[in-house]
Chain A
């Protein structure tokens, strides 16, 4: 890690029984003026989790990660690492390498800078995990952006870090490459703590177990992804029927707890209740009374995107 700027505070190594979070920030603030920057961010990244940092463009994700990895200075607040500083690896959104180095050399250099006793197997293993074994001898200058991004991952992996900070690691990858990188990140869960910033919410939902939502430099939410999604379940149910559902629509429309009812397509009815509780309490009774031939009934699935929109929209 860069130690040139005020050095992040290491946690007490004696507190081994409760190692605490792998990374936390307290009141981290960097004000660029005119409302830009990050403000009073208190990030808590549990050890071993994959933590997704999401937010719209300009929310302050990259600024926050730069403050954490020491590339920028905070106006106030502190960053506390729960792992040794040399066990933290960073992969920026646009990684760059000396174009006249071979890929293997670039990874070796990255590894030796953090661990002078690096073994050659670590380099080969990192290249293998990033899917760059075939290109190990190629000069970095001939790499595409996607390959350079993979090389950035290999350079981060080679030191076998305890904490990886990845800024938009899939932004330049094709769908297959993206899937591979997401699998790679998901596979680290439990062994390596990963902080993963992205604006692709489907990626975050797929690999992250914790999420932090940033908007306008402020942390609006952080916690388990599943809890966030559950908290933002909409009071909407989808009912699949044998018939076209027109009669059932009329039945539901007569109920005072129903806000809206619509036919998505023949045989599929969406019921929007006033509250989740109202829906859960009354839907089955209405179906029973209607005599409709029901194939299935269930809540319309919420996802991170709807939760994110709900959170960031509420903050407007």
Chain B
């Protein structure tokens, strides 16, 4: 936020002739920026929630930072172990690109998913604090205003972090293990994004019935853990969206992108349904 004194100073400078490259030009630009400051609505509020609560930092650490370390560690695991003096550890010598991708999906992907669930749970606990709930509920006209900006901005931040991490990891794999097909990379990012959106919609589904952030997080996590259960029934085996959780590894292992279309379709439908349920239930809920 710009302080009033800053604004006043900028306004004064803005009246001076703006010469490119001078101090006056910079302050005039600042004044114009102040005037153009976007009004604070529900969408910008959610962006501020991600930025000011430093939740973006958790996402950054979980996805790009931890993710980029995975392929490097896999490529140099022998050197690392010998430097650490770890004797007797049996490490395969022929580690390939899919092992590097497995390390990303298994470590960074899982930690990132936990962070994403927590972040979404904190944002979607609309009625956790009664005073805050009253503030929003008495000023908004439609229940979707309470749910969609929160979920969408949170999901966008998570997907962006995953996208950046995936690009870094694919680039590292290409550099450390040799070329990989670009189309597989794009399919991997696409399907993993759909999986993340579905996982976050589980939080929204939990928010339809529960109020506390911890309860939302726990319920969504349990639902994710139990999500492979439908595979026990053979007709559903090819449609279970949990198959998308390791899509990047599967693609490098030689699975066809088309084999993920069914789970992706189910994930998209589940996402839409859970969001609609969340909007409907939160709108009907009493304080």
CA of A46 to CA of B136, assembled, Å: 27
B93 at the interface (CB under 8 A from A): no
CA of A116 to CA of B135, assembled, Å: 16
Q: Considering only CB atoms, which chain A residue lies closest to B1 in the complex?
A: A102
CB distance from A67 to the nearest CB of B (A): 10
Q: Are B286 and A5 in touch, CB under 8 angstroms?
A: yes
Binds A, one of B40-48, B65-73, B221-229: B40-48
Q: Are B48 and A101 in touch, CB under 8 angstroms?
A: yes
Q: Are B286 and A100 in touch, CB under 8 angstroms?
A: no
CA of A157 to CA of B52, assembled, Å: 26
B237 at the interface (CB under 8 A from A): no
Please tell me which one of the listed residues A4, A5, A92, A101 contacts residue B134 in the complex, with CB atoms under 8 A apart. Answer: A92
Instruction: Please report which residues of chain A, range 226-251, place their CB below 8 angstroms from some CB of chain B when the two chains form the complex.
Output: none
CA of A116 to CA of B40, assembled, Å: 9
Q: Are B129 and A96 in touch, CB under 8 angstroms?
A: yes
Q: Are B39 and A112 in touch, CB under 8 angstroms?
A: yes
Q: Which residues of B contact A3 (CB under 8 A)?
A: 141-142
A66 at the interface (CB under 8 A from B): yes
CA of A102 to CA of B284, assembled, Å: 31
Q: Which residues of A contact B136 (CB under 8 A)?
A: 113
CB distance from B110 to the nearest CB of A (A): 28
Q: Which residues of B contact A71 (CB under 8 A)?
A: 134, 137-138, 286-287
CA of A100 to CA of B55, assembled, Å: 12
Q: Are A2 and B130 in touch, CB under 8 angstroms?
A: no
Q: Are B1 and A137 in touch, CB under 8 angstroms?
A: yes
Q: Which residues of A contact B41 (CB under 8 A)?
A: 109, 112-113, 116
How does the 8 Å CB contact mask read for A101-118 relative to B, with 1 for contact and 0 for none?
110110011101110101
Q: Are A69 and B138 in touch, CB under 8 angstroms?
A: yes
Instruction: Please report which residues of chain A, range 67-91, place their CB below 8 angstroms from some CB of chain B when the two chains form the complex.
Output: 69-73, 89-90
How does the 8 Å CB contact mask read for A37-68 relative to B, with 1 for contact and 0 for none?
00000000000000000000000000000100
Instruction: Please report which residues of chain A, range 1-20, place their CB below 8 angstroms from some CB of chain B when the two chains form the complex.
Output: 1-5
B143 at the interface (CB under 8 A from A): yes
CB distance from A134 to the nearest CB of B (A): 11
Interface centre among A71, A73, A90, A118 (most CB of B within 10 A): A71
Q: Are B4 and A136 in touch, CB under 8 angstroms?
A: yes
Q: Which residues of B contact A104 (CB under 8 A)?
A: 1
Q: Which residues of B contact A299 (CB under 8 A)?
A: none
CA of A73 to CA of B134, assembled, Å: 14
Q: Are B1 and A92 in touch, CB under 8 angstroms?
A: no
Please tell me which one of the listed residues A89, A90, A95, A137 contacts residue B3 in the complex, with CB atoms under 8 A apart. Answer: A137
Q: Which residues of B contact A113 (CB under 8 A)?
A: 41-42, 136, 139-140
How does the 8 Å CB contact mask read for B239-280 relative to A, with 1 for contact and 0 for none?
000000000000000000000000000000000000000000
A301 at the interface (CB under 8 A from B): no
Given contacts A3-B141, A3-B142, A112-B40, contact A155 B135 (CB under 8 A): yes
Interface centre among A69, A72, A98 (most CB of B within 10 A): A98
B283 at the interface (CB under 8 A from A): yes
CB distance from B264 to the nearest CB of A (A): 33
Q: Which residues of B contact A100 (CB under 8 A)?
A: 48-49, 52-53
B131 at the interface (CB under 8 A from A): yes
Given contacts A70-B138, A114-B139, A137-B4, contact A4 B284 (CB under 8 A): yes
B91 at the interface (CB under 8 A from A): no
Please tell me which one of the listed residues B40, B42, B45, B135 contacts residue A96 in the complex, with CB atoms under 8 A apart. Answer: B135
How does the 8 Å CB contact mask read for B131-167 relative to A, with 1 for contact and 0 for none?
1101111111111000000000000000000000000
Please tell me which one of the listed residues B53, B132, B135, B283 contacts residue A4 in the complex, with CB atoms under 8 A apart. Answer: B283
Known contacts A66-B287, A98-B45, A108-B40; 7 additional CB pairs below 8 A are A69-B134, A95-B131, A100-B49, A108-B39, A112-B40, A113-B139, A137-B1
* Sample (10) of A-B pairs whose CB atoms are under 8 Å apart: A70-B138, A71-B134, A98-B132, A100-B49, A110-B139, A112-B40, A112-B41, A113-B41, A116-B41, A137-B3
Residues of A within 8 A of B (CB): 1-5, 66, 69-73, 89-90, 92, 94-98, 100-102, 104-105, 108-110, 112-114, 116, 118, 136-137, 155
A-B interface, 8 closest residue pairs, ranked by CB to CB distance from nearest = A96-B131, A113-B139, A4-B283, A100-B52, A71-B287, A96-B132, A90-B138, A2-B137
